[in-house]
Amino acid sequence: MKISFHKYQGTGNDFVMIDDRNETFPAENTALISFLCDRRMGVGADGVILIQNHPEHDFRMIYFNPDGSKSLCGNGSRCAIAFAKTLGIIGNQTVFETTDGVHDAFIEGEIVHFHLHDVGHATKQDSDWFINTGSPHHVRLVTDLDQMDIIQPGREIRYSKHYEPAGTNVNFVETTPEGIRVRTYERGVENETLSCGTGVTACALVAGMIDYQSPVKIETKGGSLTVSFTKTEAKSFQDIYLAGPAKKVFEGIVEVPI
């Protein structure tokens, strides 16, 4: 079987994007999704995204981690919005459905602004934090972000009893006068990615719980993002937007052995 795909990246979080408006992609085939994400044997990506028609909204986006699991993907959503514009499905504004429901978004030049759902305030986990921004995120404040190994503590927290059975993504954050710097261990990828959209959003909201004002500037290994929000008296965050670039890298046809 041959599959046509486009490769996109949003601050280095990269995705195999498939125009599945005819709904022929075998989405239950986990081995195929893992193959497409494999950087040596397949195309190589942090996830696979399908774009399908939707009866009420502009399109449906389905995101898969390399292990076939699904969750909300912030950077993937930004890339799907850019891809939908390239396909001529949308202009510079959209309403679409993904894993956690319906979202709106808009494009301004190279920047895609993705509107996330309202969330409650972050909760304390000993000296760390937890917040679910559509995907679950543990957030740890550190002072040696560049030097530290995030894989070992990331895996320990991700697989800890506390987060069983679903697990969590794990973010390590260093605060700076200009904003925050973030590295993320991603569940489902089971490794560090260059950037995680729902992860940096979680970290920006935790920054908002400490002493940062919206918008918060975030530096990741893959580039810069901005998160804006309104913090309410009712202990929630509203008007949450994740903004940053989303770019096409290449397109092709892959021969799949599975």
Ligand X SMILES: N[C@@H](CCC[C@H](N)C(=O)O)C(=O)O
- Residues 13-32 binding ligand X (CB under 6 A) are 13
- String of DSSP letters for 11-46: TTEEEEEEE-TT--S-TT-HHHHHHHH-TTTSS--S
Show the beta-strand stretches assigned E in the chain.
2-10, 13-19, 47-52, 60-64, 93-98, 101-108, 111-116, 119-120, 123-125, 128-132, 136-141, 169-175, 180-186, 191-193, 216-220, 223-231, 236-245, 247-255
Given candidates 71, 98, 214, 226, which one binds ligand X under the rule CB under 6 A? 71
Query: Any known ligand binding at 75?
Result: yes
Catalytic-residue membership of 73: yes
Query: Any known ligand binding at 65?
Result: yes
CA distance 255 to 258: 9
State the minimum distance, in angstroms, from the CB of residue 255 to ligand X: 27
Q: Identify which of residues 74 and 208 has a Cβ nearer to ligand X in the complex.
A: 74
Beta bridge partner(s), residue 131: 137
Catalytic-residue membership of 37: no
Q: Identify which of residues 42 and 76 has a Cβ nearer to ligand X in the complex.
A: 76
Q: Is 73 in the site for ligand X (CB under 6 A)?
A: yes
Query: Any known ligand binding at 197?
Result: yes
- Residues 186-225 binding ligand X (CB under 6 A) are 186-189, 193, 196-199
Distance of alpha carbon 194 from the chain centroid = 11
Dihedral pair phi/psi, residue 62, rounded to 5°: -115, 120
Site residues (vs ligand X, CB under 6 A): 13, 65, 69, 71, 73-76, 135, 169, 186-189, 193, 196-199
* Binding residue numbers: 13, 65, 74-75, 169, 186-187, 197-198
* Binding residue numbers for substrate: 13, 65, 74-75, 169, 186-187, 197-198
